[in-house]
Chain A
Amino acid sequence: MAVNTQEKAVREIPEATILFAGDSGDGMQLAGGQFTLASAYARNDLATLPDFPAEIRAPAGTTYGVSGFQLHFGSVNVRTPGDEVDVLVAMNPAALKVSLERVRKGGTLIVNADAFGKRDLDLAGYNQNPLEDDSLKAYRVVRIPLAKLTHETLSDADLDKKTMDRCKNMFALGLALWMYSMPIEPALEWLSSKFARKPDILEANRRVLKKGNHYGETVEEFAVRYEVRPAKLKPGKYRAILGTEALAMGLIAASRKCGLPIFYGSYPITPASEILHELSRHKNFGVKTFQAEDEIAAAGAALGASFGGYLGVTATSGPGLALKSETIALAVMAELPLVIVNMQRGGPSTGLPTKTEQADLLQALFGRNGEAPLPVIAPGTPGDCFYAAFEACRIAIRHMTPVILLSDGYLGTGSEPWLIPNAEDLEDFAPSFATAPNRTVDGKDVFLPYVRDKETLARPWAKPGTAGLEHRLGGLEKEHETGNVSYEPENHEYMVKLRAEKVERVAQDIPPLEVFGAQEGDLLVVGWGSTQGAIETAVDACVARGLRVGAVHLRHLAPLPNDLGKILSRYEYALAPELNNGQLVRLLRERFLLPVASLRKIKGLPFKAREIEKEICDMLGIPIA
């Protein structure tokens, strides 16, 4: 190895996308996570997309065992994990095969040359070695004997071969950090705390990380290194945050601001389990977490806790939401607050457990027997999961209703720099529990559990333990005001409409929608959930070309915001991009009787901004830039 101590040239670039891909046991999520941290320390704006198989340790070397972590970072606004990859780090042929289509032509492939033996190629389904034919000629290929270099670095360490092998992700990470002039310190610090009790493993990882970091200086393949300047983010204190982390913190913040402890019922399911893991760490906030025997019990226990005056929360993913339906309908009938988090994933049935999709919108809105309306809200970015969770709790308690929060796998596992809110600034929304009778009947003071608040139509919440307010709730139809069981035809129709109106009135406290891009003009993009970044990137590009294109992103899907109709009327065309077969678009068409166009992607992957931009241009009859 020729040692070249000469300083390499540094080229400044506005943004870049890197993808780490390898076997699910190769530590790619870890390398990606540490690169993200370094990027955050470099003050870049960023967005990440982890992409891992449903199997924990799929057979090594196969394409279905490939685990990837994509990071888009820049000095400019970064709203998506990147349409195209600039640098792919591929730990084996399978990773190369699976990820190549994401790499832009002219992009860089850093491949672990040690992993391209005949057996590796066979496992990946390559007939011949792609490094030896011209199939990769459109890319810049850098072959690095990662395993060999890692072993050399650790030749004097008293470690077995397997342990040494496991350090090679640190070599790749070190090299990637060098390529983009990122600080190595955050990763070193992280290693120190992670392996504090295993000094020899710590030392091995540190050495390999540093070796990888120096490697770029020493080989000729890397003529230049890049630098991404800090982004112009709003001033304040930031942290990198995962969607699930933000969601869990939003629940805890809500619990503090309404003064009710959380009871969180959940049954393990990908990708919602992370919320359970996160919440169960915070018992000193009075959080009671309950790992239930099944999805139904998780929802039931949360509802039981709500009946007891707690903030009842349950979370799940698609198939689990189906199982919780009956309990949610009971919450609709009993008019108790309950927050149901659905981390959507590809469906139907077990579907694509680790892939993202937005196909549960109609299930959330209508997936219960009878007329069972409830508010549905969705976050738009990983950091926004905090505010959406907070809002879901606020609505549930203020309006005495179950609320479904539709997150998804992409938001849950994705991360971004997050401007830390001031705890003091968050709204207080303590419920006013009923403490006294609310009617006089035949000269006696009585408590009627279904007498309603004039403004919200919410019924009073009387906690067990409150003397004189003893009452019975249940799933049978309620008589207006008394809450007694009633099969009266007129009463039933009245109550159905009353419950619907109660949900409609949530719209009273939805703040005005903010339009992104052109405030009026030719085309409005209407989106919801995790597509926000891709939509805004696309609209940004259109606006930069002088097109009169705007976007609204719906936090509230039920009820829809009151000003949405007016905003739609300011544009010639409307487009609803969704990661499903067209669900929001049905709601918009039905509600506003407008020919809203639909852009659908159902591949278990998020939109590329470019795909949305192309559709906008097609609709406007102009070529994409």
Chain B
Amino acid sequence: MPPAGKKPTLPSAGKKPSLPPGGKKPAGLPGRKPAGPGGGKKPSLPMGAGGDGAPAGLARKDFATDQDVRWCPGCGDYAILATMQRLMPELGVPREKTVFVSGIGCSSRFPYYMNTYGLHSIHGRAPAIATGLKASRPDLDVWIVTGDGDALSIGGNHLIHLLRRNVNVQLLLFNNQIYGLTKGQYSPTSEQGKVTKSTPYGSVDHPFYPVPLALGADATFVARTMDRDPKHMQAMMRRAHDHQGAAFLEIYQNCNIFNDGAFFEFTERNTKAHSAIFLEHGKPLVYDNGQRGLRLKSFALESIDLSSGKWSVDDCLVYDEGSIELANIVSRMSWQKDLPRPFGVFFREDRPSYDELVQRQIDDVTARRGEGDLAALLNGGNTWEI
């Protein structure tokens, strides 16, 4: 009975596989600039916010790849990418030690545009993959880039476990309150009643609030910023990076195609001042160009008018980012009437990171029992000679 199986012939051993017809030539030189947003307003960066001419001798362009950026023209992601590329040289971390890990979604294309190591993985799983990477290679600087659907729907489980374990990575959650890559369904952060393609009569789902969720998962660093404020965004990215442990940074990001203007109230010039408040450690909670402040009344916050003469800055709550109680109150106030949306660092505490503890345990056990001996392991237990 002769075998009838036929072996595939392609490609033959030892022969250099040829390029497929129509296949592109290998990539050209790195360093080509990503295409900028083709439409919409280009986010303007404040002077000095860029990082060109960093100590390491690297510049913003060294962190850009030769890949065409494929986000929609006008997408908030461009500003986030530009800010990251400007920040990178300032952090002083070598490119080869930096890894971007992402899941699936518009935001998760991010690693392709960063000239570092990168892994564009599968939907929702970036925190899990990054946990394995960081636990095995604590020497690497690991960034996770994710979105509201990726991190809070399909990957919700991994997100909370990454945070409670306190893996020493930075997680950037691009929140646009919509599913972009699948063309416009409501997301777990979309407001109730949201009319989308999948909810023509309005969404009945109650949304997640990412910041309180992260606090509830015992994250050791929780912050929020916005795509339209590159200076603040860069400061928050830097603080996230400086934090030893899991750093959770929510970034309000405009999806100009499917959810345009979701955050304009907080990000645009005419409304930002009285709708947004910037938390700063040790400073009173003041906003609206100093016209208004927040004071603690019982367990709630109250907006007070500092211009009427009735209240002064001294009446305002002084923020303490080491207080989980304050973080819990402030992170929840956004959805109360007449209170501004907070940005900045909500909470930060020191706790040994997972990767550090894993390595420490191995070192301790090895110190106590000695380096593992394979022959001794194989010959362990009850043995006998024949």
Contacts and interface: CB of A to CB of B under 8 A. Distances in A.
B135 A326 contact: no
Interface string A301-317: 11111011110100000
B188 to A, nearest CB: 18
A608 B26 CA distance: 58
Interface string B93-109: 01111010100100000
Interface in A424-452: 424, 439, 441-442, 444, 446, 448, 452
A71 to B, nearest CB: 16
A171 to B, nearest CB: 23
Nearest to A508: B13
A141 B200 CA distance: 75
Contacts of A296: 125, 128, 158
Interface string B7-50: 11011011111011111111111100000000000000000000
Report whether over half of chain B's contact residues are helix, strand or loop; otherwise say mixed.
loop
B117 A490 contact: no
B85 to A, nearest CB: 14
Interface stretch (B281-289, B320-328, B366-374): B366-374
Contact of A591 (B3, B67, B375): B3
Contact of B135 (A253, A290, A498): A290
Interface in B115-151: 115-123, 125, 127-137, 139-140
Interface centre among B22, B114, B133, B375, by most chain A C-beta atoms within 10 angstroms, is B133
B117 A471 contact: yes
Given A239-B383, A454-B13, A490-B22, A482 B27 contact: yes
Interface centre among A265, A293, A294, A485 (most CB of B within 10 A): A293
A425 B15 CA distance: 34
Nearest to B30: A446
Nearest to A304: B132
B309 interface: no
A490 B99 CA distance: 31
Scoring A466, A479, A571 by chain B CB atoms within 10 A of each residue's CB, the highest score goes to: A479
Contacts of A454: 13-16
Given A476-B120, A489-B22, A304 B377 contact: no
Contacts of A233: 386
A485 B136 contact: no
B4 A593 contact: yes
B29 A442 contact: yes
Given A290-B135, A473-B119, A484-B27, A285 B372 contact: yes
B384 interface: yes
B67 to A, nearest CB: 7
B120 A297 contact: no
A240 B380 CA distance: 10
A488 B384 contact: no
B131 A442 contact: no
B57 interface: no
B112 interface: yes
A282 B372 contact: yes
Nearest to A469: B96
B133 A308 contact: yes
Contact of B382 (A240, A282, A593): A240
Interface stretch (B75-83, B223-231, B263-271, B357-365): B357-365
Interface centre among B117, B130, B375 (most CB of A within 10 A): B117
- Interface range, B side: 35 or more
Contacts, number: 292
B199 interface: no
Given A309-B137, A479-B24, A569-B3, A498 B119 contact: no
Nearest to A43: B386
A126 interface: no
A305 B135 contact: yes
Contacts of B375: 422-424
A186 B382 contact: yes
A283 B366 CA distance: 7
A301 B128 contact: yes
Contact of A501 (B11, B127, B128, B157): B11
Contacts of A484: 24, 27, 67
B22 A488 contact: yes
B2 A569 contact: yes
B99 A464 contact: yes
Nearest to A473: B119
B119 A261 contact: no
Contact of B5 (A300, A470, A592): A592
A14 to B, nearest CB: 18
Contact of A297 (B22, B112, B118, B158): B158
A605 B115 CA distance: 54
Complex A-B, nearest 3 residue pairs according to Cβ-Cβ distance, in ascending order = A565-B3, A301-B132, A474-B120
24 contacts: A40-B384, A240-B382, A249-B378, A284-B366, A284-B369, A285-B377, A288-B358, A296-B158, A297-B157, A300-B121, A305-B136, A420-B379, A457-B11, A467-B95, A468-B96, A469-B96, A474-B111, A474-B120, A480-B23, A486-B23, A489-B22, A501-B8, A569-B3, A593-B4
Interface of B: 1-5, 7-8, 10-11, 13-17, 19-30, 65, 67, 94-97, 99, 101, 104, 111-112, 114-123, 125, 127-137, 139-140, 157-158, 161, 358, 361-362, 365-366, 368-372, 374-375, 377-386
